[in-house]
């Protein structure tokens, strides 16, 4: 008779030992916990030096980190608060235009224009999204998808903010290393900061809103207010990315509202693994360079892009990060049923 | 009837399209009551709770809590006043461990006001209070149960978790929507003392129940609904002797 086999997954002893804080008593256990984090931090910080002699790719690092921020914002909203945001471009556009207005029109220096654009952009984005926050369902997704299109048309039609030419002449970063490390360090801060935030008490309440908003209401908490907090945090991250990109290109135009800024972060989360935040960033680190490589194929790159995405959705829908975490923490073996 | 009733409902009417879910329902609840609401399926018991706790809007009628008109208030405002509720279909936060489920009510403005958690310290304080509340409600502190994901808990514990979520708010009134349904006899036997304990702590309970035998052990007043209309109200045994109530229940579980 044929014996049935089944795959069994068991936590590694090391993982079990390192679960409680008191269990850490050896360098090996500390390394087990810290290793992946340190690898990511050190790897990112080393990137500008690795590509020292490839200036084109050094610029890709910047844009890659900006996309990573947008992906983190998407992952946070979708998988921790239950709001699917199809409009990353809304955040980048608003943040970018604010930075341009502060820098070019008001003459503020770059180290003021970016933070100010981040805060005021986040406030404005939250304000525009307010009407759909009390509602459940697809409304938030639709509205976020529409806003970038709306703003593009308004700027074109009214010929404000430089119209189709955009606002040119933004200050660039004083030196290229500042340019790289500003975004790398901010990306790391937001990544680890958000991971911490979602496990704080207020983060747990937001996760409660995603799980079950009726229960949150019955617990005496205003769900709309919680969603406002979440949208502010996400648009804060997105507007920073937008303001940074505007200064990076020394230009803010309607292409800051382009669909790329909405789609690539979502694709990054699909590839990286939703609900991990790190996965979102790693997805962006894979997708953005990939799309640069595929630039040589011209419009054909969309085809390759689609194949990669479809492949991931069909064969590894859990995403890279969740797969890696499983391999790291557990081992598998075949057992008889 | 001593002072003003803690909760006074006057003439609540609610229709869904052509269906009359509630027709001119009025009743008063005194402080410390365990008030049972019974009635066959579809008689409007849960709709009544939803109307009072603000989850659906009433067409007409008035809800007064301690003399204050709270008709049409948002659910979170009503909960903030001290009226907690459980859901018939349990609604825990499935992706969080059981004790982390209580962080959400403990974080609410009401819990902060009523000292549901002893603030002052850094993080961890709410966790301690959460496990304390769970222990009171029947989760064994030293077992793994309070730390398991809510989605993996058996029904009995999920029902307890619903009650724990209410208790975390330190409410004055709790609406229990069928806390006994779907439980085994031994699980119900474990729940009854919890209800009695809440009663002894001075919490006013309104219980919607199908399990009449258990309800009548704890309730001191009972109201019967049928097709959205109030049939009768009074002492449990008088209500069940009522002819209209008997007719409404005919063919279903007797007492």
Q: What is the ipTM of this complex?
A: 0.87
CB atoms closer than 10 angstroms to residue B27: 18
If asked whether residues B117 and B53 sit together in one domain, one would say no
Separation CA A334–CA B52 (nearest Å): 56
Assigned token pair, B214: 């258990």
How many angstroms separate the CA atoms of B101 and B95, rounded? 9
Is the pLDDT at A2 greater than 90? The verdict is no
| DSSP characters over A97-141 | HHHHIIIIIS---HHHHHHHHHHHHHHHHHHHHGGGTT--STHHH
The 10s digit of each residue's pLDDT in A259-315 is: 889 988 999 999 998 889 999 999 999 999 988 888 888 778 778 778 888 888 888
Is B105 within 8 Å of A202 when comparing Cβ atoms? Answer: no
Q: Give a yes or no: residue B193 inside a domain.
A: no
Separation in Å, CA of B110 to nearest CA in chain A: 7
CA closest to B112 among chain A residues? A220
Neighbours of B229 (CB within 10 A): 16
Global pTM value: 0.90
Looking at the predicted structure, is the pLDDT value of residue B27 above 50?
A: yes
Q: Does residue B191 lie within any of the structural domains?
A: no
Judge if B166 and B95 occupy the same domain: yes
SS3 content of chain A, % helix, strand, coil (to 5): 75, 5, 20
Q: Tell whether B199 is covered by a domain.
A: no
Which of B120, B150, B171 is at the close of a domain? B171
Tell me, what's the pLDDT at B123? 45
Chain A contact probe: residue of B65, B77, B92, B93 with most A CBs at under 10 A: B93
Cβ–Cβ gap A212/B96 under 8 Å = no
From chain A, the residues in CB contact with B91 under 8 A are 212, 214-215, 218
**Final residue before a domain boundary, out of B171, B188, B214:** B171
Neighbouring C-beta atoms of residue A51, cutoff 10 Å: 16
CA end-to-end span of chain B: 29
User: Which tokens belong to A106?
Assistant: 């008001």
- CB burial of residue A98 (10 Å; 0-12, 13-18, 19+): buried
For chain A, report the end-to-end CA distance as a whole number of angstroms: 13
Considering only residues A25 and A63, tell me which one the structure prediction assigns the higher pLDDT.
A63
Q: What is the largest CA-CA distance in chain B?
A: 60
**Tokens 């996400």 sit on residue:** A234
Chain A residues lying within 8 Å of B100, measured CB to CB: 204
Burial class (CB in 10 A: 0-12, 13-18, 19+), B190: middle
* Residues B78, B38 share a domain: yes
Domain for residue B192, yes or no?
no
How far apart (Å, rounded) are the C-alpha atoms in residues A132 and A135?
6
CA pair distance A10, A89, nearest whole angstrom: 42
Write down all domains in chain A, each with its CATH number in brackets: 43-336 (1.10.3470)
Angle of CA points A306, A85, B98, to nearest 5°: 110
Q: Is the pLDDT of residue B250 over 70?
A: no
Is the CB of residue A137 less than 8 Å away from at least one CB of chain B? no
Which CATH number belongs to the domain containing residue B49 in this structure? Answer: 3.40.50.300
- Overall domain count for chain B: 2
Residue A145 has pLDDT above 60, yes or no: yes
Last residue of a domain, one of B117, B151, B171: B171
Q: pLDDT, tens digit, for every residue of B117-167? A: 555 444 447 888 888 888 888 888 888 888 888 888 888 888 889 999 998
Confidence check: pLDDT of B2 > 80: no
Nearest to A220 among B100, B108, B123 (CB): B108
Residues, chain A, total?
337
Domain residues for the domain of B40 are: 1-82+173-179+204-255
CA distance A280 to A286: 10
Q: Per residue in A94-104, pLDDT tens?
A: 999 999 999 99
Tokens at residue A45, please?
């910080």
Query: In angstroms, rounded to a whole number, what is the distance separating the alpha carbons of residues A198 and B148?
Result: 19
Statement: residue A19 has pLDDT above 80: no
Inspect the interface and report whether the beta carbons of B165 and A212 lie closer than 8 Å. no
Which stretches of B197-245 are assigned E, i.e. beta strand? 204-208, 221-226, 229-234
Per CB-CB distance under 8 Å, the chain B contacts of A208 are 93, 96, 101, 104
Per-residue confidence band for B255, with pLDDT thresholds at 50, 70 and 90: very low
Compute the mean pLDDT over every residue in chain B, rounded to the nearest whole number.
85
Angstrom CA distances, B100 to A306, B115, B131, stand at 40, 18, 9
B186 in any annotated domain: no
Please state the length of chain B. 255
Report CB contact under 8 Å: B107, A202. yes
In B, which residues are within 8 Å of A219 by CB distance? 76, 79, 104-105, 108, 165, 168-169
Whether residue B94 is found in the same domain as residue B164: yes
Q: Say whether both B69 and B118 belong to one domain.
A: no
Average pLDDT, chain A: 90
Residue B195 lies in a domain: no
Q: Are residues B101 and B77 in the same domain?
A: no
What residues contact A278, with CB distance under 8 A and at least 6 apart?
A40, A191, A195, A272, A321
Beta strands at B19-29 and B7-16: parallel, antiparallel or unpaired: antiparallel
A214 interaction partners in chain B (CB closer than 8 Å): 55, 75, 87, 91
Tokens of B125: 């304080």
């Amino acid at each position: 008779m044929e014996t049935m086999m089944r795959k069994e997954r068991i936590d590694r002893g090391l993982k079990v030992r390192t679960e409680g804080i008191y269990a850490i008593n050896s360098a090996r256990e500390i390394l087990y916990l810290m290793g992946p984090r340190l690898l990511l931090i050190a790897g990112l910080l080393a990137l500008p030096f690795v590509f020292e002699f490839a200036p084109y790719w050094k610029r890709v690092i910047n844009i890659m980190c900006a996309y990573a921020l947008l992906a983190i914002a998407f992952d946070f909203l979708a998988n921790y608060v239950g709001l699917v945001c199809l409009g990353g471009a809304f955040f980048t556009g608003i943040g970018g235009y604010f930075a341009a207005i502060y820098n070019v029109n008001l003459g503020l220096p770059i180290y003021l224009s970016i933070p100010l654009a981040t805060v005021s952009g986040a406030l404005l984005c939250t304000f525009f999204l307010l009407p759909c926050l009390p509602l459940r369902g697809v409304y938030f997704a639709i509205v976020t998808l529409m806003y970038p299109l709306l703003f593009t048309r308004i700027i074109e039609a009214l010929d404000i903010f430089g119209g189709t030419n955009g606002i040119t002449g933004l200050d660039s970063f004083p030196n290229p290393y500042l340019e790289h490390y500003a975004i790398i360090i901010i990306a790391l801060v937001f990544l680890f900061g958000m991971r911490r935030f979602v496990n704080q008490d207020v983060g747990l309440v937001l996760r409660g809103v995603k799980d079950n908003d009726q229960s949150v209401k019955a617990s005496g908490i205003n769900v709309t207010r919680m969603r406002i907090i979440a949208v502010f945090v996400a648009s804060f991250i997105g507007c920073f990315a937008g303001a940074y990109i505007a200064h990076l290109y020394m230009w803010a135009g309607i292409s800051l509202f382009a669909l790329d800024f909405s789609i690539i972060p979502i694709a990054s989360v699909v590839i990286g693994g939703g609900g991990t935040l790190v996965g979102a960033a790693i997805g962006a680190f894979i997708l953005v360079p990939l799309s640069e490589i595929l630039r040589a194929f011209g419009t054909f790159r969309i085809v390759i892009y689609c194949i990669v995405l479809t492949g991931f959705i069909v064969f590894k829908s859990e995403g890279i990060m969740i797969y890696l975490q499983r391999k790291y923490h557990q081992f598998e073996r075949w057992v008889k049923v | 009837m001593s002072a003003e009733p803690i909760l006074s409902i006057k003439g609540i009417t609610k229709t869904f399209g052509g269906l009359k879910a509630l027709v001119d329902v009025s009743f008063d609840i005194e402080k410390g009551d365990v008030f049972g609401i019974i009635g066959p399926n579809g008689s409007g018991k849960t709709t009544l709770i939803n109307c009072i706790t603000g989850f659906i809007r009433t067409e007409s009628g008035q809800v007064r809590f301690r003399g204050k008109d709270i008709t049409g208030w948002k659910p979170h405002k009503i909960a903030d006043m001290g009226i907690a509720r459980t859901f018939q279909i349990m609604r825990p936060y499935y992706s969080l461990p059981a004790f982390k489920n209580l962080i959400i009510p403990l974080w609410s403005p009401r819990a902060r006001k009523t000292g549901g958690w002893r603030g002052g310290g850094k993080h961890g304080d709410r966790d301690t209070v959460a496990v304390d509340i769970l222990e009171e409600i029947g989760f064994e502190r030293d077992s793994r149960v309070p730390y398991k994901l809510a989605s993996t808990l058996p029904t009995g514990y999920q029902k307890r978790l619903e009650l724990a979520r209410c208790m975390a708010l330190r409410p004055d009134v709790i609406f229990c929507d069928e806390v006994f349904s779907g439980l085994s006899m031994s699980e119900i036997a474990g729940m009854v003392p919890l209800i009695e304990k809440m009663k002894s702590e001075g919490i006013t309970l309104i219980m919607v129940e199908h399990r009449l035998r258990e309800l009548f052990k704890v309730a001191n007043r009972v109201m019967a609904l049928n097709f959205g209309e109030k049939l009768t109200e009074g002492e449990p045994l008088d209500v069940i002797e009522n002819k209209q109530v008997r007719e409404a229940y005919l063919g279903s579980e007797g007492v």
